[in-house]
Structure 1
Amino acid sequence: MVESLNVKGKTTSSIYLNWAKPEGNNSFYRVKWTDGFHTWNDSVTETSINVTRLTPGVNYSLTVQSVAGDNKTDSDVTQISSYTRPGIVLNLNLTEITTSSIYLNWTKPEGNNSFYRVKWTDGFYTWNDSVTETSINVTKLTPGVNYSLTVQSVAEDNRTDSDVTQISSYTRPGIVLNLTVAAVTTSSILLTWNQPEGNNSFYRVKWTDGLYIGNDSVAETSINVTKLTPGVNYSLTVQSVAGDNRTDSDVMQISSYTRPGIVLNLNLTEITTSSIYLNWTKPEGNNSFYRVKWTDGFYTWNDSVAETSINVTKLTPGVNYSLTVQSVAGDNRTDSDVTQISSYTKPDRPGNVTATWRGTTSLTVTWTHSGGKTFFTVDVSNDRLAYRNVSRTAGTSANVTGLAPGKVFNVTVTAVAGSLEHASDVFLFATCEFRLYLYSPPPDHDVFV
């Protein structure tokens, strides 16, 4: 009887046996094997045999007998059983990947097997599970991490397993958190966000105005997107990307208008006692309308126009107004820097201009006036003598002296707002000629023509 019968090696299609030569003589060895349904046999003179053409994952019972020289007399049977190795799993695929799971499936290998042993590792920790199906959803993973996953088919003895089939994959990185527009200029949008849970390598940023698309990649949790057009609505997206530079997160999206350009060449083209007409040049880029504000220092009014001009009305004569214009984007909120200009309205003409007293060399003039803070100039002139005397006052009367006696003078009172830039229409008071004696007589003796 042969001794020390051992399985020294096995594959998916073979089992290698060896044994010790028994005491005494023998001519050869008869080897038989069966899978429970079919039986095969062979004869060898050596103390080993490689039994081939077997089916993967099947339990074989193998017997060896030593046979004497008559080729009939044989020893007792020495028996051993062994599973062939199951076949390696085929077509291992990743069919769905999330931030916390990887779904695997594969094709059943040739031959038999009892179940599949699945292992996965992130390089530090290793986990495992067993399934009888040809798929598994590996869960409770960390976002953005590279996992190595292996699958083996296992025979019914729960020990004999196949070669390893391996695949690796990153889980999807987590979506970026708290995406915010931190600052906006006419040509840039500053984005910030919080790093998502888990790992990631960098962030992919894209932006579009609806016609053109720009993109960039950053390792930080912020980016200043530049070279944009003023007053345009941009859609911006941020994705975290794993270390393979391919696996990315869901998209986090935000939209923002750039600030419109500041209005150019703001001008005052016509000023009346109750209105100021403004016009300006359209700024570079886009805008929806213009916001106009004006104030007299106490009250503030506003209006919106789509054109590049406005006639600001219902103003008070002789008042200094500060006026601002801003261009506004299509969201009706994002506006440009302020362009400012100031101007007085024209003052009202003085009324009831009267000479309340006349002397030989002087004249007292009074008048009435309503409106804003104003000063007045009084002009007394004699055209024939090219004589002019100008008096400036903040009140509603003036005493003009140093006149030549016996001459005819024109008297003009002008209301002035600001610094003589917007004088009222000239009001001709009167033309009078009076004769002055060497010795000053009373005023009622003057002769007027």
Structure 2
Amino acid sequence: MTMTTQRGVFNSSVMANNSFLGTTTSLENTTLPVTSVGTNDSQSIPSTSVNGSVENTTTVTSMRSLYVLTATTQKVSVQLNYSVVGTTILRTVSPPFTSAVVSPIEAECMKTPMQYQDPEPELNKNYIEDPCVAILSFGAWVEKKCEERLPFICYEDRFYGHVNVTEITSESATLTWESGPGDIEHYRVKYNNKTIEENITALNTSLKDLKAGTFYSVKVFPVKCGRPLYPENGTFYTVPNPVSDLQVVNMTERCVYLRWNASVDKVDKYLIHTEKKTTETENTEVNICDLTPGNLHNFKVQAGVSDNSQWSANSTISAYTKPAKVSNLHTSEIKDATITLEWDKPEGNVSDYLVNWSYYNGTDISCDKEEKNTIFIISNLPSGTRIKMSVIARANHTLKGERVTVVNFTAPEKITNLNLTSTEDTITAEWKYPAGSPNFTIELEHENQVVKTENINKTSVEFRNLNGAANYTVTVRSVSGGVPSDEVKMSIYTLPVTPRNPRLKTKNETHLTFTWDPPPNTMTVVYKVTLNSSFWSFHQEKILNNKTMYTFEGLKSGTNYTFTVQTKAAKELSEAATLRAPTDPVLKEITLSMVCSSKQSLLCDASNTRDIALEKLNSLFEALLGDSVAWSLKKQESVNPGN
């Protein structure tokens, strides 16, 4: 049997069944020759061994460039791992081994005596006369034509390695990788199918002149026996370039709109960082919202690649959001030359406020004032004038929020020279106004209640059908644009009305009780009652509040008293209602005796003389007592006639 082999070092165990020999041969610790092609001389080449001891050797004889293996009958153990590609036998060895590179050889067979059971075998179309035998990876033998050239391959077990990429920038990166198995001659580096260097002996190299933000696939091939092994792989992105021309396009109270220019290199996405959150977008503009009004916000924009492995340096910009508008703007105090303006601080932050007011006073006038507080007094205004007022919150003393406006009038000047006159049921009010003729509001109050209101555009008014002897207060305000001036007040009583129907209700020797009816159109009336007796020089008076009956006590009996009742309003008194009424008398009899003397004889005895004397006495008492007290004078007839 003749067998073609390529390399003389095996580390495998194979049981080969040689159908041509008809016997099974066990090879153990077989040493096979390593030789070269091109010699025509017979020579013996020393064998090499991988796994140690060799019990027997084989002799390789070179004849016409044919290497013949004469196997000994001794059993050897060989560990083989083969794979066959066409006519090429590939060997994989698990433990370390040495190898040599030889050129392809031309196989040639020798004839050896062979015994056949059937001297005339049946030929088939695949029959090869004088074949060479090749071994397959799974141990089987196949016949090959000895003339076929078999290429020699230096082969290793499949090697898995990894390329580490560090120090990545937008233009460069550093590669490091693992050492290949065995005696590696050098390394060949490729990225994106571009070879950068053929013969690298170190385990690292640098890539330069790369494009920013670009994906790179790196392969490092260990080269052994002049052939590359399986590559070590690595991938990476270069760092993208920062965005350019970052600018704030617009801002609102809660949003800032950013825009920038895309890099010339490839960029897949962008990150926008704020104090509270990070936003991702694939566009070159973004609207960042949910911000605090009036705050200074810092924005950082980064360009990134699709797998988020690389981000550019930050491009930064700062901007204020607009402040929110003020709320509850109102005028709290209005006078003829000043208006007090108040408002509530808006949400967020403000640096100050810009207050503006304008009005027309022959020409258009507009004024601005910066204010830090939420209250502002506008002064030096014309009275009775329409004033337009607005407040704007500002951030950073420059960025203005939304304007809030309110319109109101300054108060007109108050009236002067208010004068009131009254009768029993009317009050007339008159006044003066210094300039123009605005509207006026007049209120009439009685007992702290407004009973009548008049809105007029003249400087006098009359209130009718009032109660007599009542205290009324008149309040006058000038009005311009619905805004009243300071008020001017004055009070006056209507004239009192005489009480009606005074009468004596009860009496006795020392008491007199009087009653009367109140005057018409009265509610609460003050009365003044008096009782007089000129005879006794007696005078008594009393002020009554809304009472129509009164009793005088401690009087003289039999005395005729004069009673008067009047309604009273402030210092004014009505005409009196009068009544004379006597107390009951307590009668006493007094006897008077008169002595008559006359020069004329018998004059005193004349009857008419006594009558004349009685008349004169009665006249005397009439003049002295009158009707002030109860009395009577009667002539008493003489008990003794003739006297």
| Residues 104-113 or 296-305, more deviating | 296-305
Matched, 1:159 2:315: no
Q: 1:81 is matched with which residue?
A: 235
Aligned equivalents of 1:143 and 1:344: distance in 2?
63
Matched, 1:104 2:104: no
Map of 1:390-409 to 2, 5 A cutoff?
none
Check whether the contact 2:335–2:486 (CA below 8 A) recurs between aligned residues.
no
Q: 1:92 is matched with which residue?
A: 246
2:479 equivalent among 324, 328, 345? 328
Deviation at 1:260, TM superposition (A): 1.0
Q: 1:213 is matched with which residue?
A: 366
Deviation at 1:120, TM superposition (A): 0.7
Q: Which amino acid aligns with 1:137?
A: N
1:56–1:275 CA distance, 2 compared to 1 (3 A)? same
Deviation at 1:59, TM superposition (A): 0.6
Q: 1:175 is matched with which residue?
A: 325
The CA RMSD over aligned residues, in Å, is: 4.9
Q: Which amino acid aligns with 1:259?
A: A
Map of 1:42-53 to 2, 5 A cutoff?
48-52=205-209
Using the aligned pairs only, state the percent identity: 24
User: TM-score, normalized by length of structure 2?
Assistant: 0.41
Q: 2:398 is matched with which residue?
A: 246
Aligned equivalents of 1:296 and 1:127: distance in 2?
69
Q: 1:410 is matched with which residue?
A: none
Deviation at 1:281, TM superposition (A): 4.8
Map of 1:238-387 to 2, 5 A cutoff?
238-242=391-395, 244-264=396-416, 280-283=432-435, 288-291=438-441, 306=457, 310=460, 325-331=476-482, 334-339=483-488
Deviation at 1:150, TM superposition (A): 1.5
Q: Which amino acid aligns with 1:33?
A: Y
Q: Which amino acid aligns with 1:198?
A: G
Q: Which amino acid aligns with 2:169?
A: T
Aligned equivalents of 1:294 and 1:80: distance in 2?
100
Check whether the contact 1:117–1:129 (CA below 8 A) recurs between aligned residues.
yes
Aligned equivalents of 1:220 and 1:44: distance in 2?
78
1:199 equivalent among 345, 349, 354? 349
1:57 equivalent among 213, 216, 222? 213
Map of 1:424-439 to 2, 5 A cutoff?
none
Q: 1:402 is matched with which residue?
A: none
Q: Max radius of gyration: which structure?
A: 2
Aligned equivalents of 1:183 and 1:300: distance in 2?
27
SS at match of 2:242: coil
User: TM-score, normalized by length of structure 1?
Assistant: 0.57
Check whether the contact 1:97–1:103 (CA below 8 A) recurs between aligned residues.
yes
Q: Deviations over 1:4-48 (max 9, x none)?
A: 965443333x113255998999999865432x7xx4646898964
Deviation at 1:147, TM superposition (A): 1.9
1:44–1:85 CA distance, 2 compared to 1 (3 A)? farther
Q: 2:281 is matched with which residue?
A: 131
Aligned equivalents of 1:226 and 1:328: distance in 2?
19
Aligned equivalents of 2:220 and 2:478: distance in 1?
99
- Greater per-residue strand proportion: 1
Aligned equivalents of 2:473 and 2:292: distance in 1?
61
SS at match of 1:181: strand
Deviation at 1:216, TM superposition (A): 2.3
Q: 1:349 is matched with which residue?
A: none
Q: Which amino acid aligns with 2:341?
A: L
Q: 1:235 is matched with which residue?
A: 388
1:74–1:299 CA distance, 2 compared to 1 (3 A)? closer
Higher relative contact order (CA 8 A, sep 6+): 1
Deviation at 1:143, TM superposition (A): 2.6
Check whether the contact 2:242–2:302 (CA below 8 A) recurs between aligned residues.
yes
Deviation at 1:87, TM superposition (A): 2.8
Deviation at 1:92, TM superposition (A): 2.9
**Where do 5+ consecutive residues of structure 1 fail to align?**
346-417, 420-449
Check whether the contact 1:231–1:287 (CA below 8 A) recurs between aligned residues.
no
**Where do 5+ consecutive residues of structure 2 fail to align?**
1-158, 495-569, 572-643
Deviation at 1:303, TM superposition (A): 5.4
Deviation at 1:247, TM superposition (A): 3.1
Check whether the contact 2:270–2:281 (CA below 8 A) recurs between aligned residues.
yes
| Residues 170-179 or 180-189, more deviating | 170-179
Aligned equivalents of 2:163 and 2:380: distance in 1?
81
Aligned equivalents of 1:313 and 1:140: distance in 2?
64
SS at match of 1:209: strand
Q: Deviations over 1:144-179 (max 9, x none)?
A: 322212221211221201111222223333322222
Aligned equivalents of 2:272 and 2:223: distance in 1?
46
1:245–1:313 CA distance, 2 compared to 1 (3 A)? closer
Aligned equivalents of 1:219 and 1:91: distance in 2?
36
Q: 2:378 is matched with which residue?
A: 225
Q: 1:441 is matched with which residue?
A: none
Q: Deviations over 1:189-245 (max 9, x none)?
A: 222222223332333222222522222233322222222221112222223323x22
Q: 1:428 is matched with which residue?
A: none
1:60–1:296 CA distance, 2 compared to 1 (3 A)? closer
Aligned equivalents of 1:92 and 1:223: distance in 2?
41
1:115 equivalent among 255, 263, 269? 269
Q: Which amino acid aligns with 1:119?
A: H
Q: 1:189 is matched with which residue?
A: 339
Q: Deviations over 1:389-408 (max 9, x none)?
A: xxxxxxxxxxxxxxxxxxxx
Deviation at 1:75, TM superposition (A): 6.7
Q: 1:11 is matched with which residue?
A: 169
Check whether the contact 1:181–1:191 (CA below 8 A) recurs between aligned residues.
yes
1:303–1:59 CA distance, 2 compared to 1 (3 A)? same
Aligned equivalents of 2:199 and 2:393: distance in 1?
66
Deviation at 1:325, TM superposition (A): 4.7
Check whether the contact 1:290–1:327 (CA below 8 A) recurs between aligned residues.
yes
Check whether the contact 2:414–2:433 (CA below 8 A) recurs between aligned residues.
no
Map of 1:13-52 to 2, 5 A cutoff?
14-17=171-174, 19=176, 32-34=190-192, 39=194, 41=196, 48-52=205-209
Q: Deviations over 1:397-447 (max 9, x none)?
A: xxxxxxxxxxxxxxxxxxxxx99xxxxxxxxxxxxxxxxxxxxxxxxxxxx
Q: 1:384 is matched with which residue?
A: none
Check whether the contact 1:65–1:74 (CA below 8 A) recurs between aligned residues.
no
SS at match of 2:253: coil
Check whether the contact 2:443–2:450 (CA below 8 A) recurs between aligned residues.
no
Check whether the contact 1:179–1:193 (CA below 8 A) recurs between aligned residues.
yes
Check whether the contact 2:163–2:218 (CA below 8 A) recurs between aligned residues.
no
